[in-house]
A and B are shown apart, each in its own frame.
Chain A
Amino acid sequence: MTDSGSLSQLQTISIALQALAAGIILVLFSNISFHTFGYGFGLSFIPIFALMYWPKNASRSWSLFFVFLMGVLQAAMSFTPLGLLAFCYLILFVVLGGEMTFSNRLAPAWGSYITCILFIGTLMYFVGSLVIGQWPNLIPIFTDAVASTIVFPMLFWLRKLISDFGPESERREIV
């Protein structure tokens, strides 16, 4: 009984770690800047994808800590005020509560993603203004949000591809 209990707890921590790994990969991609047609932009909102599809059966306590780590890592890498992104991600994670199920169809999932980006963008804008002492520049928030929205179908398709490779039992859990 004890063994199976601790094993299941280890499994939930391991699932949370897998989600963190996926989040870190997205954080790395979020730090790449692009210059096309005279405009510079980034994909700073794509780690939200990891939060949206955080596994339901991951350890909740460890997940909170890992989400915090993800935010701190992204802030440290992008030179954003430390704590700001972790704060926004934690709030979003608490709001989503791991209970929301996002549709397996592209259009509704895309809509939910845009809502999450709007939520994080607004939170970042107002909390960020308190941190830097003036209103942040809205244009990069907007361009990054648009760029992150555009790449969503690719991330969605990749996630579906990965989940299709898994065994039938896991596939049901992920979907």
Chain B
Amino acid sequence: MSERGFNRPQNQRTFRRGLAIGLIFVCILMMLADRQQKQVLESGRLTPDDISAKIMGTFAAPVRGIEKLFSTMGDRARAYEENKILKAENERLLAFEHKVLDLETRIKIFEDLLGMEPGENEIKRVAARSVSEVNGPFVHSTLINAGTNKNIAQGHAVATVDGLLGHVVRVGKSSARVLLLNDLNSHISVMSRRSHSRAIMIGTNGKRPQLDYIAPEADWQVGDRVVTSGDGGVFPSGIAIGVVENLKGKNLGVKLNTQDTPVDWVWVYLFSPTEAPEESVEEELATEEANAGVSEQNP
């Protein structure tokens, strides 16, 4: 009994070839769309992010536990020496504690003089867990298990106890995608804690982001502590990032505080960027003058 229509092997082979070519063509279209950062694909990624945040949270938990066990093994071996060092450091920090308390009292007095509300500069932050970190050839990102359900929005800064980790680039209902500082698309406004010189820290997809757009008169030195500058009102200022070091050539790089440490719990700073004024002062004055002119003509 001869096979007819689609069941003929020749027809099936032709169909398979067509399907393979069609699917490869779809892949090329997706890559092109991704390069253009089309919103269609962006929304399509949100659902897998939400689902994978839940699944990867379960998958990654034992791995993080084992990693911690290994990373603390060395600490336990050095416990006696470290205890001595910590005691000495504790004594040294006690003096600082008194200074800080004194400064807090002074700040409170100045705030009262200026009429500032107490805690006006405090930024709320929420804790979340990093469930899947990607340090691949194309992207450096991490997925956290909190999203709009915890008021997280695009652009919010994300930090660990060591310092700034990155910023939120996409938010789902219960997950958010964080772009790490060493990613190619990461551009952060930073400053030197010592000299207050400004620069833009640009990710290179490697281990060390680079300092760029440095003014000729800026004073940057190897070993300077790098913190967020808060310029542009996108990030809160003063979050620790890393230490300046020399890269190949004359470029300055930053050794990130969060580099090479397993990321588990993070804080998301619910910092809303400073919005531009809706109406400029000049426009406001012109409107007031025009209104005054109208009222004079019509008493």
* A139-B137 Cα distance, complex, nearest whole Å: 7
Question: With an 8 A cutoff between CB atoms, is B214 at the interface?
Answer: no
Q: Are A91 and B24 in contact (CB under 8 A)?
A: yes
Q: Are B137 and A141 in contact (CB under 8 A)?
A: yes
Q: Are B138 and A136 in contact (CB under 8 A)?
A: yes
Q: Are A36 and B30 in contact (CB under 8 A)?
A: no
Question: With an 8 A cutoff between CB atoms, is A49 at the interface?
Answer: no
Q: Are A132 and B184 in contact (CB under 8 A)?
A: yes
**Residues A68 and B138 in contact in the complex (CB < 8 Å), given A32-B132, A86-B30:** no
Min Cβ gap B216→A in Å is: 28
**Residues A136 and B59 in contact in the complex (CB < 8 Å), given A36-B67, A42-B135:** no
* A44-B141 Cα distance, complex, nearest whole Å: 15
> Which residues of A (8-65) have their CB < 8 Å from a CB of B?
28-29, 31-36, 38-42, 44, 60-61, 64-65
Question: With an 8 A cutoff between CB atoms, is A108 at the interface?
Answer: no
Q: Are A42 and B136 in contact (CB under 8 A)?
A: yes
Q: Are B137 and A35 in contact (CB under 8 A)?
A: no
Stretch of B12-20, B187-195, B218-226 that contacts chain A: B12-20
Min Cβ gap B212→A in Å is: 15
Give the residues in chain B near A144, CB-CB below 8 Å. Answer: 136
Q: Which of A1, A60, A76 has the most CB of B within 10 A?
A: A76
Q: Are A65 and B31 in contact (CB under 8 A)?
A: no
Q: Which of A31, A131, A141 contacts B34 (CB 8 A)?
A: A131
Interface size (A, Cβ < 8 Å)?
54
Shortest Cβ distance from B52 into A: residue: A77
Give the residues in chain A near B261, CB-CB below 8 Å. Answer: 35
Q: Are A38 and B20 in contact (CB under 8 A)?
A: no
* A34-B41 Cα distance, complex, nearest whole Å: 28
> Which residues of B (10-48) have their CB < 8 Å from a CB of A?
12, 15-16, 19-20, 23-24, 26-31, 33-35, 41, 44-45, 48
Min Cβ gap A160→B in Å is: 24
Question: With an 8 A cutoff between CB atoms, is B103 at the interface?
Answer: no
Q: Which of A28, A78, A125 has the most CB of B within 10 A?
A: A78
Min Cβ gap A71→B in Å is: 8
**Residues A128 and B52 in contact in the complex (CB < 8 Å), given A38-B260, A76-B45:** no
The contact size tier of chain B is 35 or more
Give the residues in chain B near A5, CB-CB below 8 Å. Answer: 7
Q: Are A64 and B31 in contact (CB under 8 A)?
A: no
Q: Which of B1, B16, B34, B60 contacts A81 (CB 8 A)?
A: B34
Min Cβ gap A39→B in Å is: 7
* A160-B33 Cα distance, complex, nearest whole Å: 41
Q: Are B137 and A42 in contact (CB under 8 A)?
A: no
Question: With an 8 A cutoff between CB atoms, is B213 at the interface?
Answer: no
* A79-B35 Cα distance, complex, nearest whole Å: 13
Q: Hey, what's the 0/1 contact readout for B125-143 against A, CB within 8 Å counting as 1?
A: 0000000111111110101
Question: With an 8 A cutoff between CB atoms, is A84 at the interface?
Answer: yes
Q: Which of A64, A77, A131 contacts B48 (CB 8 A)?
A: A77
Q: Which of A32, A83, A132 contacts B29 (CB 8 A)?
A: A83
Give the residues in chain A near B1, CB-CB below 8 Å. Answer: 1
Question: With an 8 A cutoff between CB atoms, is A73 at the interface?
Answer: yes
Q: Are B139 and A40 in contact (CB under 8 A)?
A: no
Shortest Cβ distance from B47 into A: residue: A76
> Which residues of B (59-88) have their CB < 8 Å from a CB of A?
59-60, 63, 67, 70-71
Question: With an 8 A cutoff between CB atoms, is A133 at the interface?
Answer: yes
Q: Which of B12, B30, B44, B138 has the most CB of A within 10 A?
A: B138
Give the residues in chain B near A39, CB-CB below 8 Å. Answer: 260
Q: Which of B33, B71, B205 contacts A82 (CB 8 A)?
A: B33
Which of A's residues lie within 8 Å of B, judged by CB?
A: 1, 5, 28-29, 31-36, 38-42, 44, 60-61, 64-65, 68, 71-73, 76-84, 86-87, 90-91, 94, 124-125, 127-128, 130-134, 136-141, 144
Q: A76-B52, A82-B44 are in contact. List 4 more A-B contacts (CB 8 A).
A: A78-B136, A84-B31, A90-B23, A91-B24
Between A and B, 10 residue pairs with Cβ closer than 8 Å are A28-B56, A31-B132, A80-B134, A83-B34, A86-B23, A87-B24, A91-B24, A125-B137, A137-B136, A137-B205
